[in-house]
Structure 1
Amino acid sequence: MKKIFLALVLFVTMVNAFAQNVAVTGTVQSAADKSALPAASVVLKQQAGAPLAVVTDMEGRFRFDRVAPGQYTIEVNYIGFKRMSRAVQVQNAPVNLGILALEEENTRLGEVQIVGRAQLGEQKGDTSQFNAKAFKTAPDASAEELVTKMPGVVVQDGKIQAQGEDVQQVMIDGKRFTGNDVSTAIRNISADMVENVQIFDGQSDRAAFSGFDDGNRVKTINFTTKKIARQGYTGKVSAGYGTDERYMVGASVNYFNNNRRITVTGLTNNINLSDFSIGETPGGGMRGRRGWGGGSPTGIINTDNFGINYTDTWGKKIEISGNYNYTDRSIVNNQFRLRDYVNSDTTYLENSINNDSDKSHSLNFRLQYNMNENNRLLITPRLTIQQNNSLTERYANTFVGTDTLTNSRNSNFDERDNLNFSNNILYSHRFGSSGRILTTEFNTSYSTTNGDTYQSENTQNLVNPGENVLRNQYINLDRNNLAWSGNVDYSQRLGEKSRLQVEYNIANQNNDSDKKAYNRLTEEGAYSSEPIAFLSNTFESTYLSQRVGPSYQYRDDKIRFQLNARYQYATLRSDREYPVSYPLKRNFSNVLPSAEYEYKFSDNSNLNISYRTNTNVPSVDDLQGVLDISNPLQPRIGNPALEQDFQNRVNVRFRRFNPENNHAFFMGVFGTITQNYIGNSVYTRGIPEEFTDGYELQPGARLSRPVNMDGYWNVRSFFNYGQPLHFISSNFNAFGSVGYSRIPGMIDEEVNYANNTNFRAGITLSSNISEKVDFNISTSSSYNIIENTLRTNQNNNYFTQSTNVRYNWILWQGLVYRTELNHQYNSGLSNGLDKSFVLWNMSIGKKVFKNQQGEISLSVNDLLKQNISVQRNVFSDYVEDVQSSVLQRFFMVTFTYNIRKFIGGEAPATEEQRGNWGGRRN
């Protein structure tokens, strides 16, 4: 293998030994004010051969390396400006084209200016770019309100989606907004700062450094800010008090000084806000109700939060960013849960009272050192420290028809301390202009969990009263995880259109978990010294994998194609030391192919097809074979004999934007097939004794155990069509999706497939009238068909309809009316659950102070007092409906002060500054 690799390196080196080294450079500016135009598209074309494409940097500069002598045409495009095209003669010396000045698209006749409708945007390869000027928003709107007016962007289940996928990364002028909370990042940017919005599939840092796609894509939104907004302050400060002692005090302030950006946020409240941001409606509205997990939060939540985000450039070589966040949160949540099981007439009903408190510190840091034009270093450490206390009082019953089998009351109090640390070091070296790049990556992570659990159980067996259970126990958990991985990539250009890469990866993951349970002996709190054997376990697992293989990439003016092949060899060791020794070792050998094909029909439409494969190792919870009876009617045990799964993923994306009529169309199909899927094997009778060591289930109880199974499918399609409606000065979007999932499971050793087919469609109408009238109307419907192969009488269908109206109106002399209305209809849920509700929030406010920067408002949350939370969950062995407590009606008086002070600045950074050496694909 070593000799083959050395021979390959020697060969590709010789291929490039005779390569030319001619550079073409220039600067793109506005002809009107001589300002630089960042992120402009520059294409160098030749009649024969593939075109070269780059984007300009923050000073409007561009550079093409290794251009062969010949006659070329250079084209420059920038939204709002006329396209420039000119001939370029390249010989054997560098060519500097100097200043390329673009004219604005406006046409002047004497003193009369004739301006056409603003162009919504354009499609540039896999990047959808929208012109913020074409979308009207209220003066104090956030970037969230701006992007949700754009084609393909919706809020689904509390998460922002773009082109059918969850947005996972936010950038400002090409620089990452450090942290994982996308909603907070978008709502901390004011809409009036934004010049353009770009939506694309962001690559990993390693792919950006090496120029080869590794398949780790995340849907990304990049905000290019206006020149005037790159120096100054923006933000919002609010304080409010209301009925039922509801309160909220929050602040979010952004400081911008060209490359230096600092965001400070703070919040204390008991109205279910998880964070505070510029986009917050006075008094708290539905937009502020999105939880930290993405969906609407349930329960009554008190949150104290402080965060700071910092981005800067130190000198010309170092880019740095980081954020710190502290959160102290408490949640009181009462839930009602009803489960219908697939293979029996048994019904499970549960009422629970949950009290959770969580304190966490999180720190993220990112340092990129651009040593010189050929060497880059990236270091990204992360640290999270968390303390969690949780008390759950659970009242549960099992039934057959109207006959009660079991009554159970149990209490669990958990105290847990968690620490997670990870660090990634990425280094890349480019061998001059030869096209050779060496990329190395080393990643380490360490996590630990220490916890104490106190649980009690009082279960009445109504079938056999002699088997009633009284239990009081203490459980100690000590878990540690240490993992590391190393990666080496070597890539070489093969001519003008293709490249070759060889990759080697080695990774190791070690988990050590010690769980011991003890019986309580006295009322005073003394516990036994000997652990309870069937509830205790000392366990260690190690997963070592090595992967090696080549990648080939081809690119011309129409086609981009990449083919990867990896051979992976892995070893999974599981070693149970207590209560009895049980070592287990398994070896896995896999070929992991992947491919991607992209075809460019025109400058504004393209098709992308990708196929990926990967493996996933079971979690330590799934592997550890210890019985968990925190819910005695739903006990669970791990399976140390689990194997890794194997995933096949296919994605198809089509994007088209017509700049002449501003019509946009996006379509995608996303599919996953998993072999050795880790599903659930459920036992209701005849439980093997080696699983539980003689533990007896109560009537109606079910023991679940993870097992490997084939037959998992998940396929989803998505489309979105958008266009402006000029006759009402609004934008129209229609969207829909069809999904199918097939989840395998086992029930008493019989295989069951839970099949779920979902149809969803909706429309959105958003205003583009003026800054004084802003509305957004959307409605979506979802119809689900659930079928089980084991017991067809448990098949059922359900329907949900959600309609949302948001309306802001500046009436007269700073008088502002806002209303947000959400109607939810559910059909097909369990009897006794509410089928529909209307959540209506509104406020009336008066702008005060100079430039109307202040506002005093009176708001009401849940005016009709109908707010509820009902959710249906589908699993391989049951379907459940869950209703949770939510925050209902209260009134609040709020004072808000908007901070806006801009003094101009420089142009934004581009892809080149943020580390993508290859540039964004065009």
Structure 2
Amino acid sequence: MKRFLLLMILLAGATGAWAQSFSLSGKVVDASDKSALPGATVILTRLLDSVQTVASTEASGAFKVQVPAGNYSLKITFLGYQTFQKSVPVMASVELGTLALALNSQMLNEVKVVGKIPPGEQKGDTTQFNAAAFKTAPDASAEDLVQKMPGITVTNGTLQAQGQDVKQVLVDGKRFFSDDPSTALRSLPAEVIANIQIFDKKSDQAEFSGVDDGNAAKTINIITKPEKRTGQFGKASAGYGSDNKYMVGVAVNSFSGDQRLTFTGLTNNINLLDFSVGETPGGGMRGRRPPMGGGTTSGLISTNTLGLNYSDLWGKKMEVSGNYKFTDRGITNNQFRVQNYTLPSDSGQVYSENRLSSSATKDHQFNFRLDYNLNPNNRLLITPSLTVQENTTDNQVASATSNVNGALNTSESATQAQSKSLTFNNNLLFSHKFGKVGRNLSVSLNTSYTNSSGDNGLAANTIYYRGTEGNQTQNLFTNQRRTGFSWAGDLTYNEPVGKSGQMQLIYNLGNQRNDADKQAYDLVEGTGAYSQLNTALSNTFQSSYFTQRFGTGYQYNEGKLRLRVNARYQLATLENDQDYPTEDFYTRRFTSLLPSADLTYKFSQSKNLDLNYTTSTNAPSVDQLSQAIDNSNPLQLYQGNPGLQQSYAHNFRIGFRNFNPETNRVFFVGVFGNLVQNYVSNSITRATTEPITLANGQVLEKGQQLTTPVNLDGYMNVRSVFHLGQPVGFLKSNLGVNGSVGYTRTPGLTNGQLNIASAPNVGGGLSLSSNISPKIDFNISTNGTYNFVQNSLQGQLNNNYFTQNTSLKYNWIFGPGLVYRTELNHQYNSGLSEGYNANYLLWNMSISKKLFKSQAAELSLSVNDLLNQNVSVQRNITPQYVEDVQSSVLQRFFMLTFTYNLRNFTGTAPQEQKRDRDFQGPPSGGSPGRPPQG
């Protein structure tokens, strides 16, 4: 195979005489409302020899295939729609335009009799699930629905599908809330959804050129029911509870064909970060759920937020989407941490900290996207974004360091900080198609500008029990200004090679420039003025990272095999220019070869194997380069390293997917990993037995430390996961089994000695989600992970710890409009530091009564953390120490809440409109026995 590929690349210039092929393209839409049908199966059969070419429509409903000249039979199928067939002669490239599929009423009647709906199918690279096969409560959100589907999980607030983080959510092929999967899934009710599709969405560059560049993002596409695409729907809630707890939230969608509007608003002090149409009445029922996409809900959080999402077609050529979000958030947190160090000479050194913090953030975020098809051969994409932020923080910290011989030091400090920042990004992408099919040129320009400023005040008193100074005080004022500007231009040319190949030429040019100015002033006694410049803590610094890339690639796509190989040669220059406190100039030049490859093999329409390998470089940040000392924690100082080099990463992914339509079994196994050369780790200089004088003259007293970033080889992070999903008929539920094996290897330095922190882990879990009826909806799951902590420098700190999370979510509709909801979450920890092995049961519960004839309203009494046991603990592994952290969390409160559900669909028959408004229909998947629509 290697010799074959090499020969293909070397002879690329002499391939013009190969057999000529032509393209056949079109767009598949719903006949009633002209909305796109992504994931439709396109089968092109050559009449001469019955050879078939199979493809799936993209998110926009478009498809394009390359075939030799001949007479063909075109067949297009989509679940719930009539099959489209047409004879097509191909003697040149053919543009079929828009192909409309009509609903299959006969199929609907047949399914009503059978009454069993298949949960899903595999369509090439796309896994599609039928929402009708997964029963949820009538007021469930899209988030609740997708978590019932095999291979989709939420881990530490991050939505994952087939082992990878979900980067974006589409609705009927259109972007929804930009790249915010959390808001997108929580803003749609499950009952409007027909299908859920999971696939790797190509980059804009690849979609423009038709040549895969290997930059794909795991994406969920929500296909709505045709009769739910016109109307207004949403939810509003207001609640008040014990200890002055409150919550008012609204989420309203207005859909009218291609135009989609969504408004969300929330004010609360019960740790809710957003509000959704699937929000459980009472609010506190979701008080501990972390934000999807990562993050934390530790601390006591008050949030005021407004959000608006918009998408539409402006004419026939222009598709636009955008969103705006304003957030005003305050967080208070009392956090405890303990760090056990790994250096043998530390004699059991331990650092402990008690931090009381409060912060207030005001944030404006705006994103816009304009996709303009100027004509069949030219396309323009513009995607600007703007973020403006104000932040204030107040920290009071009590910390101490000790070893087996007793206390080394103690410190009390208070910091107050204010900052403002603005970030503007804009991406331009233009693509031109030439007369020959597959020959195209794309040009892109990406720009970014940042500007930030901040002031910081520090007052600290530190006692060193065995150092040269017994008592040290600091009273400091610091102001910092930063600006950054980066740009990158990209030129890509594609040329067809034979009937199944494509060559690619690439040139990229870019620069990242950052300016940082930090001035620190000590308080002058007797004057009350901060006028004494502290040179050790001040710095004026500029950095520039200039890159050029030249590359070529080849892509082969024929039948079951798709292969892409790519290689880029990169020249990079990193310049660091320091003006203060001393003049200094560093230049680093790097040459890198950046290969990448993709291979997809389809064993069948429902079984395929994916292999992916990429390489990348990463320049160090301004904080990592600047020599100004950060003394916000007097016992743990930080200083950048202007001598840092760029890191070089190898990333790989292997995935196997299989869907058995006979048993409805879904299976996925994947291996993911990255290896990093010149990994930016930390070097800690710590005064263990005697004070240490640094190069700038500063003295580290016993127990005090300075952290500096350094380049080290040997970082590795590898994990493998599998998921098996299987309906269990006698339980009327869906069973999920998952497992994982991981290994992380992180190098670090302590007082010049290298320590390798290795963290193998193995985990597994089970889940059972109900598929009984809309009146009984439950999810049960348990996941456990066993971790092995190993240190090459000090083996006595090696330890094993185990964490397990078990949860139950149960909704029961009974009696005359009565609803009982409960959530139980049990956390088990073993092997953490003393006092951090918190095992607890979090129990949330509510009882509700549906109101009015339509039952569109609901009055609910809920309790959050009924047993008052909620805690937050976390373990972190580094090469220098093992750390356990405990944070403040929201605990028990009661709340009375009124909720109103809006359902007004004007695109359905009158009887269906009434059913939707009255909440009498079945949940999320459609009417009984009806397959998804669209």
Normalising by the smaller structure, the TM-score range is over 0.9
Matched residue, 1:434:
437
Deviations 1:361-416 (A, max 9, x none): 11111111111111111101111010100011000001113611111001111111
Matched residue, 2:165:
166
The answer as to whether partners of 1:39 and 1:56 remain within 8 angstroms in 2 is yes
Deviations 1:668-695 (A, max 9, x none): 1001110000011111139998955121
Of 606, 626, 634, which aligns to 1:624?
626
Matched residue, 1:207:
206
Matches within 5 A, 1:624-773: 624-685=626-687, 693-773=696-776
Unmatched tracts of structure 2, length 5 or more? 1-8, 910-934
* Deviation (angstroms), 1:360: 0.9
Q: Give the distance between the partners of 2:587 and 2:34, measured in 1 at CA.
A: 68
Q: Give the distance between the partners of 1:797 and 1:664, measured in 2 at CA.
A: 33
Matches within 5 A, 1:25-424: 39-46=39-46, 47=49, 51=53, 53-55=55-57, 67-80=67-80, 90=90, 106=107, 114-287=113-286, 289-292=288-291, 294-343=294-343, 344=346, 345-401=348-404, 403-424=406-427
* Deviation (angstroms), 1:213: 2.6
Mark the CA change 1:586 to 1:105 in structure 2 (over 3 Å): closer, same or farther: farther
* Deviation (angstroms), 1:545: 0.2
Mark the CA change 1:506 to 1:51 in structure 2 (over 3 Å): closer, same or farther: same
Matched residue, 2:580:
578
Q: Partner letter of residue 116 of structure 2?
A: R
Moved more, 73-82 or 595-604: 73-82
The answer as to whether partners of 2:572 and 2:590 remain within 8 angstroms in 1 is yes
Of 437, 460, 475, which aligns to 2:478?
475
Mark the CA change 1:851 to 1:699 in structure 2 (over 3 Å): closer, same or farther: same
* Deviation (angstroms), 1:102: 7.9
The answer as to whether partners of 1:760 and 1:781 remain within 8 angstroms in 2 is yes
* Deviation (angstroms), 1:282: 1.0
The answer as to whether partners of 1:107 and 1:115 remain within 8 angstroms in 2 is no
Moved more, 893-902 or 117-126: 117-126
The answer as to whether partners of 2:491 and 2:506 remain within 8 angstroms in 1 is yes
The answer as to whether partners of 1:50 and 1:496 remain within 8 angstroms in 2 is no
* Deviation (angstroms), 1:462: 1.5
Moved more, 699-708 or 211-220: 211-220
Q: What is the number of residues matched between the two proteins?
A: 893
Mark the CA change 1:321 to 1:34 in structure 2 (over 3 Å): closer, same or farther: closer
* TM-score normalised over the length of structure 1: 0.92
* TM-score normalised over the length of structure 2: 0.91
Matched residue, 2:464:
461
* Deviation (angstroms), 1:296: 4.2
* Deviation (angstroms), 1:65: 6.7
Deviations 1:328-352 (A, max 9, x none): 1111100010110011211001001
* Deviation (angstroms), 1:650: 1.1
Matched residue, 2:823:
820
What SS is found at the alignment partner of 2:529?
A: coil
The answer as to whether partners of 1:65 and 1:433 remain within 8 angstroms in 2 is no
The answer as to whether partners of 2:467 and 2:701 remain within 8 angstroms in 1 is no
Q: Give the distance between the partners of 1:905 and 1:495, measured in 2 at CA.
A: 49
Q: Give the distance between the partners of 2:164 and 2:35, measured in 1 at CA.
A: 36
Mark the CA change 1:298 to 1:107 in structure 2 (over 3 Å): closer, same or farther: closer
Matched residue, 1:514:
517
The answer as to whether partners of 2:285 and 2:845 remain within 8 angstroms in 1 is no
Mark the CA change 1:44 to 1:400 in structure 2 (over 3 Å): closer, same or farther: same
The answer as to whether partners of 1:773 and 1:808 remain within 8 angstroms in 2 is yes
Matched residue, 2:914:
none
Q: Give the distance between the partners of 2:174 and 2:693, measured in 1 at CA.
A: 55
Matched residue, 2:3:
none
Mark the CA change 1:354 to 1:57 in structure 2 (over 3 Å): closer, same or farther: closer
Matched residue, 1:533:
535
The answer as to whether partners of 1:336 and 1:882 remain within 8 angstroms in 2 is yes
Mark the CA change 1:100 to 1:815 in structure 2 (over 3 Å): closer, same or farther: closer
Q: Partner letter of residue 539 of structure 1?
A: F
Matched residue, 1:548:
550
Deviations 1:817-873 (A, max 9, x none): 000110000000111224201111010000112321100000000000000000001
* Deviation (angstroms), 1:115: 1.1
The answer as to whether partners of 2:687 and 2:702 remain within 8 angstroms in 1 is no
Percent identity for Structure 1 against Structure 2: 50
Matched residue, 2:5:
none
What SS is found at the alignment partner of 1:114?
A: helix
Moved more, 329-338 or 207-216: 207-216
Of 487, 507, 520, which aligns to 1:504?
507
Deviations 1:675-728 (A, max 9, x none): 000011111139998955121223212211100010111100010000111111
Q: Give the distance between the partners of 1:288 and 1:258, measured in 2 at CA.
A: 35
Q: Give the distance between the partners of 2:112 and 2:250, measured in 1 at CA.
A: 42
Matches within 5 A, 1:582-621: 582-621=584-623
Q: Give the distance between the partners of 1:817 and 1:341, measured in 2 at CA.
A: 49
What SS is found at the alignment partner of 1:51?
A: strand
The answer as to whether partners of 1:534 and 1:692 remain within 8 angstroms in 2 is no
Q: Give the distance between the partners of 1:807 and 1:332, measured in 2 at CA.
A: 31
Q: Partner letter of residue 609 of structure 1?
A: L
Q: Give the distance between the partners of 1:676 and 1:93, measured in 2 at CA.
A: 50
Q: Give the distance between the partners of 2:621 and 2:64, measured in 1 at CA.
A: 47
RMSD: 2.8
The answer as to whether partners of 1:106 and 1:116 remain within 8 angstroms in 2 is no
Q: Partner letter of residue 179 of structure 1?
A: S
Mark the CA change 1:717 to 1:95 in structure 2 (over 3 Å): closer, same or farther: closer
* Deviation (angstroms), 1:430: 1.1
* Deviation (angstroms), 1:760: 1.2
